[in-house]
Amino acid sequence: MRETIGARALRKRQYDEDDVRVRPGKGSRPRTRVRPAHDEAVEGFVVAVDRGRYTCLVGAGIPRIDGDGQAARRVKGSARRSGKDDRTLVVAMKARELGRKGIVVGDRVAIVGDVTGRPDTLARIVRVEERGSMLRRSADDTDDIERPIVANADQLVIVTALADPPPRPRMIDRMLVAAFDADIDPLLCLTKADLAAPDELVSLYEPLGVPYVVVEKGSPLGELRERVSDRISVLVGHSGVGKSTLVNALVPDARRAVSHVNAVTGRGRHTSTSAVALELPEGGWIIDTPGVRSFGLAHVAMETVLAAFPDFNEAAVDCPKGCTHLGDGCALDRFVVDGPGDPARLESLRRLLASREGSADDD
């Protein structure tokens, strides 16, 4: 068909494939949910995390987890039994296929790529193995988003000074709740006993049956060494309570920075900026963490705290619906009045329950 415009005759345009704009594809390979098995991956233990880079220990003697997925109460395979010459520190990054899955100190991971540990090499973490435990906290009590701190620890060492800075029982209560939530054995480590007596603080936690050790400046750490030997222990506490000093005494090659308490605010200054796992000469691991000034518990349910008190947990079935176990009408009061319950333990339980309702800050 022709159209005439003035003296020229125009032919209707014929379109071909060159006139069709085709959006390029994202790749020639079809998408699939099947991921590589990475059977050649080697096992590693995350000892430090720094801005998306994970320092992992690879080789013999890294901590193991029991077959049922629970954190081993005794670390299997220590430096004394497995030569250090067979191990390497490898820097790795997280593989894209892991998505937003977080990796923290204490994780057991599968690593592929260059695992020689040579300078300027980078491996990939392709899998995070099942965790035996996870210590976590939230930013505050209104934020129920969990912040993982350390994985696979089996003992939480709550380090608190008896003076300079003064002890803060409410913060200790919160850390105990976090230990119960993670199914980690708690241990109170009371430092600076040369400045104040520990009796009052010890009596406060005696009804809970929480074990404790008392240390002072220049004193031997024999009891503490015995309690952390062949275990994975995480040290948590305020800035200035002496965590890094303890670490340097337990692990002579640690060289963790230390600081003094501010005379005006009564608070310590952050010297440890990130968590790091260090191997004990006599076997076992300790994980030093930065000092904390708040410990949110929004992610912890009331039932979790009750589960740590089997005697009161059974009596709580008689409580009215919606009972907070803090006010009148609670069956736990009758349980104590009738004889079986210990009043001191009930007071301790309610103090822990109340710590969930207050501010995440220790002041």
DSSP secondary structure string for all residues of 165-217: SPP-HHHHHHHHHHHHHHT-EEEEEEE-TTTS-SHHHHHHHGGGT--EEE--T
Strands (E), 34-116: 42-50, 53-59, 87-94, 108-113
- The reply to whether 193 sits in an annotated binding site is yes
- The reply to whether 275 sits in an annotated binding site is no
> What values do phi and psi take at 174, rounded to 5?
-65, -40
- The reply to whether 194 sits in an annotated binding site is yes
Query: In the block, which residue shows the tokens 């005494």?
Result: 249
- The reply to whether 319 sits in an annotated binding site is yes
Handedness of CA 345, 347, 348, 349 (dihedral sign): positive
- The reply to whether 240 sits in an annotated binding site is yes
Contact between 180 and 261 under an 8 Å Cβ cutoff? The reply is no
Which among 79, 72, 83, 140 has a CA at the least distance from the CA of 106? Answer: 72
- The reply to whether 237 sits in an annotated binding site is yes
Beta bridge partners, 147, equal: 137
- The reply to whether 245 sits in an annotated binding site is yes
Q: Residues 134-167, buried b or exposed e (16+ Cβ, 10 A)? A: bbbbbeebeeeebebbbbbbbbbbbbbbbebbeb
- The reply to whether 238 sits in an annotated binding site is yes
Both tokens of 253, joined, read 């090659």
- The reply to whether 117 sits in an annotated binding site is no
- The reply to whether 241 sits in an annotated binding site is yes
Measure Cα distances from 302 to 26, 60, 319 in Å. 49, 41, 14
- The reply to whether 191 sits in an annotated binding site is yes
Separation CA 57–CA 285 (nearest Å): 12
- The reply to whether 270 sits in an annotated binding site is no
Burial of 193 (0-12, 13-18, 19+ CB in 10 A): middle
- The reply to whether 244 sits in an annotated binding site is yes
- The reply to whether 69 sits in an annotated binding site is no
Separation CA 244–CA 210 (nearest Å): 23
Residues annotated within a binding site for GTP: 191-194, 237-245
Residues annotated within a binding site for Zn(2+): 319, 323, 325, 330
Residues annotated within a binding site: 191-194, 237-245, 319, 323, 325, 330
